[in-house]
Amino acid sequence: MQERRSETANALMGSGLFSEGSGFDIFRLLRAVLRRVWAIVMVGVIFASAGYFFAKATYVESYVVNATLQFTTTKYIKVADENGKEELVTVVVAYENNDNESFKYQLKTDIMVNRLYEATGKKYGTEQIRGAIAVKETDVKDFFELQVVGTDRDFCSELMDAIIDVFPDYLRSKSSTLGISLVNYPDEPAINNSDNAVKIAFLAFLAGALLITAIVVLIELFSDTVKDIDDIRNKTSAPVIGSIPYVGKSTGLINKKPMFTGGLLITDEEKVSFAFVECFKSIRTRIEGLANNKGFKTFLVSSTYENEGKTTVAINIACSLAQKGKSVLLIDADLRKPAVLRTIGVKYDDKSGLIPIIKGESTYKESIKYVKSLGLFILPSGGITQKSSEVLDADKVREVLETARKEFDFIIIDTPPTRVVSDSLVISTLADAMIFAIRKEHAKLSEINETLDEIAATNIELAGAVFTMNEQESRGRILNKGNGLRSRRYGYGKYGGGYGGGYGSYGGSYGYGGSYGYGGSYGYGGSYGYGGSYGYGGSGSYGYGYGSRGNGGYGYGYGYGLFRRKQKKSVHSPAPANSPADSSTDTDVSTGNNE
């Protein structure tokens, strides 16, 4: 145990954003930011809108009045007449001293402000007057500009008139040689400012976008959750056997991120992608390998916490195995929150299932339901109990599983989250291997590793981890049969789409599943081929599946898996040779309205 945890710690230290070998993973940060561009833009727009309306709401018009004064001075100079006699004459010249600071100061002295206060009829406060007036230099040394700024048009106009009347006389009293003349008369008060709403909105947008970007980067740097499939490989001891796409639809012009809709089955073509189906086929191959090599047939499906997609994984693994002609029993062992029947669209039943079997109110054969549209046998929970650990530890549960092992090729058991309750650990002694669902950015890596340690202590083999709700998979990256990732962007557009069009193509009218190809009327599994009267999967182009027994094999029927929702054809599949189909309940459901 200590050695295992030591290895886990080393993996955590050596494979993150700051790993010694690879250094800082800037591309991972960029991907994290790009995945959340919609949030960055949305918050930026919210901030910009708030800034814009705030600027409009708080805007107050400011007025300005200007007037220009010329300052001159009187000088005495000696002038000689034609006879050479000198005399003193006075001349007016431009004011040469740079007394702008002196004029500013004198305009705002208490004496001057009080005179202006008196001149304006004592209607305005002295501090209001002092803050509104100014003297500014111009490009010409003896010209100065008087300025009055305020939010009241009448105040600006009246104060400027008072300054023109009072200020020149006040300055002349300080210097007898100073001359002051009004050059430019004041105009009507003009608006001096704008609300700057657009500029403020732009700055607010940048602030909001940068804030969210910083939060995303910090979360990416310091969060301890699984962000991509490499985190599972490098930071846990679980082998990866599948990576399930995040399936859904766009929710708007800004938010292009697909939203998980829940209850997704590989039989529902209108909701899931080609990559979604192929990922479960890859997992099926791994499970079949364990069955062939080690004789495993009972698999638990669990997770660290709830809402990680374990029920969806369990159901689709069972469906994928059934599509290949295997007899599969799906058991809902989540006795606290059973979800299997709800997910596949079957009405809830508390009269038959595990709990009624243990209570002696129902039998094994009475409780198993056969869902024709999926080709699955299902043993529901049969109710809800808070004492699920004690119920699952009962001898009758062991008897049920021992009987099922004799009658079915595979048994898939949906169990509660391992970190929340111990139910999966209790029933693990009755199973061969566990499949562990890990949702993107959900449980912490430390909690996942602690849960894996608890699973290892029960001596059940870990078949592998399934990475769920992975956005990268939804863009085309899928697991290949060798447990590696390959970036093959086919989806419906190429494999099954590009291969699905035209005469003789794989998947089209004359190809795989079509009228004249594999699964059609005249090809492999058709009227005159392998599989009987109407082919492996039916007579039309919607076939791939199996129907009821025909002439010499599987034939006659429409097949499930690629049928269209409007048809809602049921599958009359034969029960496994040694299964309890004769006494089980046949349930014909459509998976078109799954949760």
| Secondary structure of 172-223 as H, E, C letters | HCCCCCEEEEEEECCCCCEECCCCCHHHHHHHHHHHHHHHHHHHHHHHHHHC
- Structure-token match 């004459």, residue found: 89
Q: Both tokens of residue 30?
A: 């960029």
| CA-based nearest residue to 1, from 458, 372, 362, 540 | 458
Indicate if the pLDDT at residue 337 is higher than 60.
Answer: yes
Backbone angles phi, psi at 436, to 5 degrees: -110, 120
Most confident of the following: 45-54, 174-183, 252-261, 453-462? 45-54
Indicate if the pLDDT at residue 500 is higher than 60.
Answer: no
Strands (E), 420-567: 433-439, 461-470, 477-479, 485-487, 549-550, 553-554
| Per-residue pLDDT band at 411 (split at 50, 70, 90) | very high
Cβ neighbours of 521 (radius 10 Å): 20
Q: Both tokens of residue 136?
A: 């500014």
Whole-number pLDDT of residue 72: 80
Backbone angles phi, psi at 548, to 5 degrees: -85, 170
Cβ neighbours of 281 (radius 10 Å): 17
Q: To 10 degrees, the CA torsion angle through 101, 103, 109, 114? A: -160
| Per-residue pLDDT band at 7 (split at 50, 70, 90) | very low
Indicate if the pLDDT at residue 481 is higher than 70.
Answer: no
Please classify residue 577 by burial: count the beta carbons closer than 10 Å to its beta carbon, then call 0-12 exposed, 13-18 middle and 19+ buried.
exposed
Strands (E), 32-191: 63-80, 86-94, 133-137, 143-150, 178-184, 190-191
Cβ neighbours of 594 (radius 10 Å): 20
Backbone angles phi, psi at 464, to 5 degrees: 150, 175
Average pLDDT over the chain, rounded to an integer: 75
Which helix (H) or strand (E) segment is 355 a member of?
Answer: helix 354-359
| CA-based nearest residue to 467, from 457, 478, 458 | 478
Whole-number pLDDT of residue 90: 65
Q: Residue 203: CB partners within 8 Å, gap ≥ 6?
A: 51
Instruction: Measure the CA–CA gap between 340 and 362, rounded to whole angstroms.
Output: 19
| Per-residue pLDDT band at 518 (split at 50, 70, 90) | very low
Q: Note the residue count of the chain.
A: 595
| CA-based nearest residue to 7, from 187, 237, 213, 207 | 237
Query: Of 88-92, 109-113, 379-383, 537-541, which gets the smallest average pLDDT?
Result: 537-541
Give the pLDDT confidence of 260-288 residue by residue, as tens digits. 444 689 988 778 888 889 999 999 999 99
Higher pLDDT, 169 or 314: 314
Strand partners, 87: 79
Backbone angles phi, psi at 291, to 5 degrees: -65, -40
Q: Residue 53: CB partners within 8 Å, gap ≥ 6?
A: none
pTM for the whole structure: 0.56
Strand partners, 66: 147
| Per-residue pLDDT band at 124 (split at 50, 70, 90) | very high
Indicate if the pLDDT at residue 100 is higher than 80.
Answer: no
Higher pLDDT, 190 or 508: 190
Whole-number pLDDT of residue 319: 95
Q: To 10 degrees, the CA torsion angle through 490, 494, 500, 501? A: 170
3-state secondary structure of 329: strand
Which helix (H) or strand (E) segment is 19 a member of?
Answer: strand 18-19
CA angle 150, 155, 157 (to 5 degrees): 100
Give the pLDDT confidence of 57-80 residue by residue, as tens digits. 999 999 999 998 888 877 767 777
| Per-residue pLDDT band at 86 (split at 50, 70, 90) | confident
Q: Are 196 and 55 in contact (CB under 8 A)?
A: yes
Whole-number pLDDT of residue 96: 65
